Amino acid sequence: MQYFPLFVDTQGLRVLIVGGGEVAARKLDLLARTVAEISLIAPDICDEIQTKSLSRAVTLIHREAVDADMPGWDLVYLATDIDALNQSLAAAAKAGGALVNVVDSPDDCDFITPSIVDRGRLVVAISTAGAAPVFARQIRAKLEAMLPASLSPLLNFVASRRDDVQHKLPSGKARRVFWERFFHFNGERFDSQTELCYDLSFNNVATPGELLLLRQDIHAELLPLAVVPLLQRLDAVYAEVELPETLNELLRRDASRGKLPRLSELSQAIQRGERMLIYADSATISQLRAHFPEARYVQPGAL
């Protein structure tokens, strides 16, 4: 991918916006939700920017920006309607060590701003690397409809309970299972039942192990959607060959990887509650299905 998605802590971040029109106002609207130190330079400033600066500490400088203004910033957004000025200021800002975004000019950008779905602690960023911003906005509209506003207070509640869970459940796996149970019971809502769901989730945190079997001649694109949540909660992935990238993208990234263990070791891991995927040739999968009849055999269109 050309652009690497990265969430940056805005505490102490110094941001400059150059421009005073509608485009600059949109950038300011997003940045004003952060704790960054924001300044804006423009000879003429629209009413939307004036209003936003009253509700959020923004330093407004009413004049034309010059190259000498550019050093000393972490991020610089250039949103004037004069291409030559944008390019001159971009060169000066980059020379001063800033990362630069020249609006509507991807070739001059060090970074781009994605379409964003904001639910407080949950932020979803969507980008087409500048190729199709209209399509990115359509995806954003779908996600806005899917993700309820209740997620913001719910995740604040979860954040406030993390220390309590770590104290009561010292094992990382037990904590992971606890939160899976909590979100299973509670869903996406935040109401009077959320606290009860939290308390109930401490009961029977131990879970039985799971074994998924996948033949290496089956393409990941053909797997049913129902298998994706299972792949995302694996503890270990075992294979004798390198996993294809399309399958790797579906797996939990911090699941351990390794060679296929002995049958006795697999049995012990299941008894310990491990969740595992075996990716192997057809003959090996057939042997494992005979030895572990409780295993889930993953194949196209079925689970």
Interval 239-265: pLDDT, tens: 989 999 999 999 998 899 999 999 999
**What's residue 133's pLDDT?**
85
Domains in the chain: ranges and CATH: 14-113 (3.40.50.720), 114-147 (3.30.160.110), 151-200 (no CATH), 210-298 (3.40.1010)
Coil, strand or helix at 210: strand
Residue 14 has pLDDT above 90, yes or no: yes
**What's residue 235's pLDDT?**
92
Q: Which two tokens mark 237? A: 């992935």
Interval 190-236: pLDDT, tens: 999 999 999 999 987 667 789 999 999 999 999 998 899 999 999 99
Q: How far apart are CA 74 and CA 68, in angstroms?
A: 15
CB-CB contact of 150 with 144 (8 Å): no
Beta strands in 68-130 (DSSP E): 75-78, 99-102, 115-119, 122-126
Residue 3 has pLDDT above 70, yes or no: yes
pTM of the model: 0.78
The average pLDDT across 105-128 equals 92
Residue 303 has pLDDT above 60, yes or no: no
CB-CB contact of 42 with 102 (8 Å): no
CA–centroid distance for 246 within its chain: 18
**What's residue 239's pLDDT?**
95
User: What length does the chain have?
Assistant: 303
CB-CB contact of 58 with 32 (8 Å): yes
Q: How far apart are CA 15 and CA 31, in angstroms?
A: 9
Proportion of the chain above pLDDT 90, given as a percent: 80
| pLDDT band with cut points at 50, 70 and 90 for residue 130 | confident
Coil, strand or helix at 288: helix
Query: How high is the mean pLDDT of the chain?
Result: 93
